[in-house]
């Protein structure tokens, strides 16, 4: 029996918990990539394939969250941040996952043979990426606290402290990429197709770092643009 009238409707859909959840998925995805590269190094191709599936599923799930947010953040909602800023932020954050998915697929294209020190360099690159997305996730998770405190200056500053850290890490990631590219193009007796594919991995891993840096910038714009 639904014999009631309700004022509950005045409370609209809140996208913030889902935004934080979506950010968490970004760092899970990079975590899975890290495992994938470890499996590659060991030549465990079955595991590589399994992890690709896991990343695909994660990306699909994240897409559903993205759709949920986009479908619910309508013009009649009064949010504490600008609606366009929020949607733009979400779009760039989603690029982190999209690029993870691309890399997840690219590593399955070919059974690449590479020396231990090349794999070691990849491992360094992925650790750096992991560091970036971990910081990124921590930053976005602060949004719940920001909403609770109505964006108090102290909390805003605490959250935005992450932005320069992420930018610095992204720069370090660039340097690792440059080193890795140089190394790959100077490999002796390497199969050119292997080199070609590995270079593509490096480029796309760079896109992941880049998307995280751009998303943190959009996050700052969203928080400061109230």
What residue ranges bind other proteins (CB under 8 A)?
2-16, 76-80, 145, 147-154, 226
Buried residues in 119-158 as b, exposed as e (16+ CB within 10 A):
bebbeebbebbebbbebbbebbebbeebbeeebeeebbee
Q: How far is the CB of 223 from other proteins (least distance, A)?
A: 12
Whole-angstrom distance, CA of residue 183 vs CA of residue 195: 10
Q: How far is the CB of 83 from other proteins (least distance, A)?
A: 10
Q: How far is CA 128 from CA 81, 107, 125, in A?
A: 31, 19, 5
Nearer to other proteins, 15 or 104 (CB): 15
Q: How far is the CB of 99 from other proteins (least distance, A)?
A: 29
Nearer to other proteins, 2 or 192 (CB): 2
Nearer to other proteins, 10 or 186 (CB): 10
Nearer to other proteins, 178 or 224 (CB): 224
Give the residue among 221, 190, 187 at the shortest CA–CA distance from 90: 221
The conformation of residue 189, written as its DSSP 8-state character, comes to S
Q: How far is the CB of 18 from other proteins (least distance, A)?
A: 11
Give the other-Cβ count within 10 Å of 18's Cβ. Answer: 18
Residue where the block lists tokens 């890399």: 103
Q: How far is the CB of 96 from other proteins (least distance, A)?
A: 23
Nearer to other proteins, 2 or 117 (CB): 2
Give the residue among 60, 163, 55, 44 at the shortest CA–CA distance from 102: 55
Q: How far is the CB of 219 from other proteins (least distance, A)?
A: 16
Reading the block at residue 177, the tokens are 């990429």
């Amino acid at each position: 029996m639904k014999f009631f009238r309700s004022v509950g409707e005045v409370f609209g859909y809140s996208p913030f918990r889902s935004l934080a959840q979506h950010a968490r998925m970004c760092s899970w995805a990079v975590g899975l990539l890290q495992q994938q590269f470890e499996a590659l190094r060991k030549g465990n191709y079955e595991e590589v394939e399994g992890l690709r599936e896991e990343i695909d599923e994660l990306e699909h799930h994240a897409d559903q969250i993205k759709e949920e947010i986009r479908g619910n953040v309508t013009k009649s909602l009064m949010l504490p941040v600008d609606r366009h800023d929020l949607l733009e932020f979400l779009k760039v954050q989603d690029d982190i996952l999209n690029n993870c998915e691309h890399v997840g697929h690219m590593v399955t294209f070919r059974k690449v043979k590479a020396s231990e020190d090349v794999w070691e360099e990849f491992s360094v690159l992925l650790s750096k990426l992991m560091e970036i997305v971990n910081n990124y996730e921590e930053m976005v998770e602060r949004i719940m606290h920001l909403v609770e405190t109505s964006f108090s200056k102290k909390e805003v500053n605490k959250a935005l402290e992450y932005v320069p850290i992420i930018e610095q890490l992204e720069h370090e990631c660039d340097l690792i990429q440059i080193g890795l590219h140089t190394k790959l193009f100077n490999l002796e007796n390497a199969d050119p197709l292997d080199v070609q594919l590995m270079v593509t991995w490096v480029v796309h891993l760079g896109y992941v770092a880049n998307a995280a840096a751009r998303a943190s910038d959009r996050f700052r714009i969203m928080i400061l643009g109230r």
